[in-house]
Chain A
Amino acid sequence: MSDKIPFTLNVNSREYQVSVEARQTLADVIREECGLTGTRVGCEHGVCGSCTIIVDGAPVRACLMFAVQAEGKEVRTIEGMADGEELHSVQRAFSDNHGLQCGFCTPGFIMLITAALEQNPAPTDEEIREMLSANLCRCTGYQNIFNAVKQYVGESTETTGAHKND
């Protein structure tokens, strides 16, 4: 039989007792063991970014990380973004700006942006474009995603008083 490794996985501040094979990716475990299917897998090679989640504050391709590597770390997925019915402002910015169509890449983009902007709350336009280039979207042409980021940056700099530098 398989040699499964039991451990506690912390996702969205909730503890999941999981038992996984050494080779299982974090994306697979989040989707299949934790039942959090909002994390989408588009290429399994870290190229498309659809599976981007946040691990200890950094954006991570969940298809490139083994689940066992996440032991003791704080994992955030799209399901952990909203506060009850209240959407996170990045989610709201996507909704307000029509920053999605088929929606398959959307959780990955939202997690990427959230992590990137926590690290750099006032990016220039060029920095936003570069950051967004990490992930693929087949539908939107990116412009509305860019606009969503601009809205979010505008809102958060207003509330934090951070300096706008573009």
Chain B
Amino acid sequence: MHRDNGDGFKIRPPHAGMISRRQFLQRAGGLTFCLALAPLIGYGTAEADELISTRDKRAIQFNAYVHISPDGTVTIINPAAEMGQGVMTALPVIVAEELDVEWDDVRIESSPPFGEVYGDPAFFNRIFTTSSRTITNYYERLRRFGREARQVLLENAAEEWRVPVAELRTTPSLVIHDKTGRSISYGEIAAFAGTGAAFDGGEPITFKAPETYRLVGKNIPRRDLPGKVSGSAEYSMDARPGGLVYAAVSRAPVEGATVRALDEHDARSISGVIDVIQRPESVAVVATSYPAALKARDRLEISWHEVEGMSDFDSGDALQQHRAAALDLSRSGFPWDTQGDISSLADNATQVYAAEYRTDYVYHAQMEPLNAVVSVTDAGKKAEVWAGTQAPANTVEAVARILDIPVHDVKLNRSLLGGGLGRRTVPSMDFVVDAAWLSRVLRRPVKVVWTREDDLRSGHLKPMTAHYLRAAVDTRGNISAWQHRVASDESIKMLDRPSYEAFGKVPVTSMLGASHHAMDRTLGDAYDLPNRLVEHVAMDTGVRLYPVRGVGATPNNLAIESFIDELAVQQNADPVEYRLRLLHKSARGRRIIETVAGMAHWTRERHERALGIAYTHYVDTVAAAVAEISFDQKQEKITVHSVWLAADVGLAIQPDNVRAQLEGGIVHGLGYALSERITIKNGLIQQRNFHDYSVMRMADAPAVHTELLHSDRAPTGVGETGSILAPAAVANAFAALTGRRLRHLPFTPDRIREVLMT
């Protein structure tokens, strides 16, 4: 029997018993008003209490997200990692709106690494800033916390003034009683809150009417910008605790390899070297300066034990195996999204079309090379960590594990991230733990900085994929059956085993964006393909893989949207018209397609240029992009002149920031389309630095025109949308321009040449 394991899968929590859950919340986001007055403290985690009390001992904790000081300062807790996506401002804006606080009174502080109330419900209530999900997953909870803290303020004022709560209202940071003309500030309430009678609450929450929003939807300046333009923003790389020493680490060239032989003599002769320390899977050089550590590391002579199957691994051969697996219909796949009956694919009376596509490995290429600083103290019993992490609990646990100390004895300073793109969630925390064990051995703080070469050599790659698609088209031109086979290695199977098991060992990242239904499993804004089988053919490569921005949705969108275009051509249908037909049940989808077609002047004739369109409903954000390209025969170069993108993201908390995410995502996706590619020979990643791993530069970047279509739905994610749409839009534009179909991502000059010659 086929089971439907669509994008809206059920999960069960992993990591059980890792951290004892506290009783401060019966269920996240659904708390009642019994939290209120006497006493207010103790409502968050002990870590949060400590966190806040170290800064302002008089601040009253109204709830886990809102703390108000008698001086009127309102501290709002941000649980998510700030890696450039603006979430450290956007999440507090949601709280502040419902709290009805003056934005200038708000200061923002990072949450502790643990605590169910700070965790993401879609990721087992652990903080996991990934997958375009932060705003979506925290939205309902944060507006409740904001509203409920406001309610506590009202109750306090009512108690103080002996008036009914219903006679009170708020203006920003003030509670007002119109009948008597009295007002009291939030800070003044905080001065006596906690001594009044307990509020028993219980009424349902009434949220603000959207038309009265002062912050949501208004483009509040990002709080991280001033430090980032002045240079004072602190990344983990900038931490400099006293007595700091520097380490450069040689790591296993392939996962699981161990040191066979080491000659460290020459390395030790370099001035400034403090020690050379070996572990089974790595060799570290510690020195008084980073250049000295690097120079000494170059002098290490290390040979590694081979890992079976990896020493002759070749990515070109592997892709051929992926391709063969996708094409081999006798090899049944894991049924990810099934509906109806696809037997018409075998019916001689129908037209059956088939196509295949492939994508290469890509690498995160976040701008800040991986790094961390760890200071182990108290004879190895405590540790302080500076790290930019997308999964702070993973970070604390990894350090605790390697030091064999309780997690509560690890203090994490959650630094800004110079980009994350998925790399900094990995449970091994390979970029953090080296500093921890070295600090324990040396009894002083250690900074480990990866060079860009280290970062590439130990890259955790987005899996290569091969796709085989078939469609049966009936006499009226309708798609009567759809089959999409994806052959790939699942990106979390090896390096995030806890999540993989928690998700039920299904190919969860591989198949994102491949389903033709919304996250709640309704048709939603997907193409109407009533008879379909979308399946995953599992490959086992042993290569270090990990989710990278766009995850499986980028290759899946390339395959789906290219194939849709090919079917449109077969039907002599315009690609826009054809998609409108497939979206006949989705008014939102049609509106997006029509909008983007209008923006791009889709029907206008172009000279030596052509347009291509792609559509997605990934994470229920409905979006489409049109790319305008030209092709230079001599240079074998595709130039992308413009990209138009229309998106319905529901409620946009920070619209300008949403646009920035979409624009940046498009250019990231154009890197996927045209140049980004990792190859492996003899088990080793071949690319070394940005000269041979080519990220798009300004000269090649198009003008991106973005339009947000607002709707009253709750906010949906935008972090990956652009990077998902861009490759298919380019492929479709190239086909429109030349009549030839690019099937292998990235569309490098040699592949373009090959396609044009056949």
Choice from B230, B272, B660 contacting A101 with Cβ under 8 Å: B660
- Taken residue by residue from 84 to 102, chain A's Cβ proximity to chain B (1 for < 8 Å, 0 otherwise) reads as 0001000110110010111
- Taken residue by residue from 220 to 248, chain B's Cβ proximity to chain A (1 for < 8 Å, 0 otherwise) reads as 01101111111111110110100000000
B225 touches A95 (CB 8 A): yes
Nearest-neighbour CB distance to chain B for A161, whole angstroms, equals 27
Nearest-neighbour CB distance to chain B for A162, whole angstroms, equals 23
B367 touches A105 (CB 8 A): yes
B230 touches A38 (CB 8 A): yes
| Among listed A24-32, A54-62, A115-123, interface-contacting one | A24-32
A79 touches B292 (CB 8 A): no
A139 touches B368 (CB 8 A): no
User: Which A residues, 17 to 47, have Cβ-Cβ distances below 8 Å to chain B?
Assistant: 21, 23-25, 28, 31-32, 35-45, 47
User: Which B residues, 434 to 462, have Cβ-Cβ distances below 8 Å to chain A?
Assistant: 451-452
In the complex, whether B583 has a CB less than 8 A from a CB of chain A is no
Given A38-B230, A38-B231, A103-B418: A48 and B690 interface contact (C-beta under 8 Å): yes
Given A28-B291, A101-B86, A139-B84: A2 and B271 interface contact (C-beta under 8 Å): yes
A21 touches B703 (CB 8 A): no
In the complex, whether B701 has a CB less than 8 A from a CB of chain A is yes
A91 touches B230 (CB 8 A): yes
Q: How many angstroms between the C-alpha atoms of A103 and B657 in the bound complex?
A: 14
In the complex, whether B83 has a CB less than 8 A from a CB of chain A is yes
Given A38-B232, A48-B690, A144-B660: A137 and B367 interface contact (C-beta under 8 Å): yes
Q: How many angstroms between the C-alpha atoms of A47 and B722 in the bound complex?
A: 25
B368 touches A37 (CB 8 A): no
In the complex, whether A11 has a CB less than 8 A from a CB of chain B is no
| Among listed B260-268, B505-513, B557-565, B664-672, interface-contacting one | B664-672
Q: Which residues of B contact A41 (CB under 8 A)?
A: 237, 369
Given A82-B230, A133-B698: A103 and B656 interface contact (C-beta under 8 Å): no
Choice from B225, B235, B663 contacting A104 with Cβ under 8 Å: B235
Q: How many residues of B contact A (CB 8 A)?
A: 62
Given A101-B85, A133-B697, A138-B668: A28 and B419 interface contact (C-beta under 8 Å): no
In the complex, whether A9 has a CB less than 8 A from a CB of chain B is no
Q: Which residues of A contact B420 (CB under 8 A)?
A: 102
Q: How many angstroms between the C-alpha atoms of A101 and B420 in the bound complex?
A: 11
B224 touches A103 (CB 8 A): yes
Nearest-neighbour CB distance to chain A for B219, whole angstroms, equals 9
Q: Which residues of B contact A130 (CB under 8 A)?
A: 699
B698 touches A146 (CB 8 A): yes
Q: How many angstroms between the C-alpha atoms of A7 and B689 in the bound complex?
A: 33
A110 touches B419 (CB 8 A): no
In the complex, whether B610 has a CB less than 8 A from a CB of chain A is no
B289 touches A28 (CB 8 A): yes
Known: A102-B84, A141-B665, A141-B704. 16 other contacts (CB 8 A): A1-B271, A37-B231, A38-B231, A40-B418, A41-B369, A42-B452, A79-B230, A87-B229, A98-B656, A102-B367, A102-B420, A104-B235, A104-B418, A139-B367, A139-B419, A142-B697
Q: Which 10 A-B pairs have the closest CB atoms?
A: A38-B231, A102-B84, A104-B418, A103-B228, A101-B84, A78-B231, A141-B667, A2-B271, A37-B238, A133-B699
Nearest-neighbour CB distance to chain B for A68, whole angstroms, equals 13
A103 touches B84 (CB 8 A): yes
In the complex, whether B691 has a CB less than 8 A from a CB of chain A is yes
Given A103-B416, A129-B698, A145-B698: A79 and B271 interface contact (C-beta under 8 Å): no
Residue of A nearest to B238 (CB): A37
User: Which B residues, 182 to 225, have Cβ-Cβ distances below 8 Å to chain A?
Assistant: 221-222, 224-225
Q: How many angstroms between the C-alpha atoms of A140 and B416 in the bound complex?
A: 17
Q: Which residues of A contact B289 (CB under 8 A)?
A: 21, 24, 28, 32
A91 touches B229 (CB 8 A): yes
Q: List 14 A-B contacts (CB under 8 A).
A: A23-B291, A35-B240, A40-B237, A41-B237, A48-B690, A79-B230, A81-B231, A101-B85, A102-B366, A132-B698, A136-B695, A139-B419, A142-B701, A145-B698
Given A23-B295, A104-B368: A143 and B663 interface contact (C-beta under 8 Å): yes
Q: How many angstroms between the C-alpha atoms of A91 and B86 in the bound complex?
A: 18
B228 touches A140 (CB 8 A): no
Given A38-B232, A43-B690, A103-B416: A140 and B663 interface contact (C-beta under 8 Å): yes
B291 touches A101 (CB 8 A): no
Nearest-neighbour CB distance to chain B for A141, whole angstroms, equals 3
Choice from A38, A45, A132, A137 contacting B689 with Cβ under 8 Å: A45
Q: Which residues of B contact A146 (CB under 8 A)?
A: 698
Q: Which residues of A contact B225 (CB under 8 A)?
A: 94-95, 98, 100, 103
In the complex, whether A106 has a CB less than 8 A from a CB of chain B is yes
Residue of A nearest to B659 (CB): A98
Q: Which residues of B contact A24 (CB under 8 A)?
A: 289, 291
Nearest-neighbour CB distance to chain A for B705, whole angstroms, equals 9
Q: Which residues of B contact A98 (CB under 8 A)?
A: 222, 225, 656-657, 660
